[in-house]
Amino acid sequence: MGTKGTRTEKWLATTVEFFFGKEYDTINAVENDLFYYIEIFYNRKRLHSSLGYMSPVAFRIKEMGLKAG
């Protein structure tokens, strides 16, 4: 597991990639994209310590007794 700084740098790089080159006409459009990025894209992939360092999707698959892939 990397250091906190390494995780922060990785998160920042991924975030910049997601938003790079996008133009927004309203603050509502920014809020919607930010919500999508955090709640749908990022939080479903990142490893959560409370889930035994598994992503939420992998955790649910394991709990349901399904095979991933």
pLDDT of residue 26: 94
pLDDT of residue 69: 53
Which regions of the chain are under pLDDT 70?
1-5, 66-69
Q: What distance in Å separates the CA atoms of residue 36 and residue 40, rounded to the nearest whole number?
A: 5
Cβ 34 vs Cβ 41: under 8 Å: no
- Residues 6+ away with beta carbon under 8 Å from 32: none
pLDDT of residue 3: 63
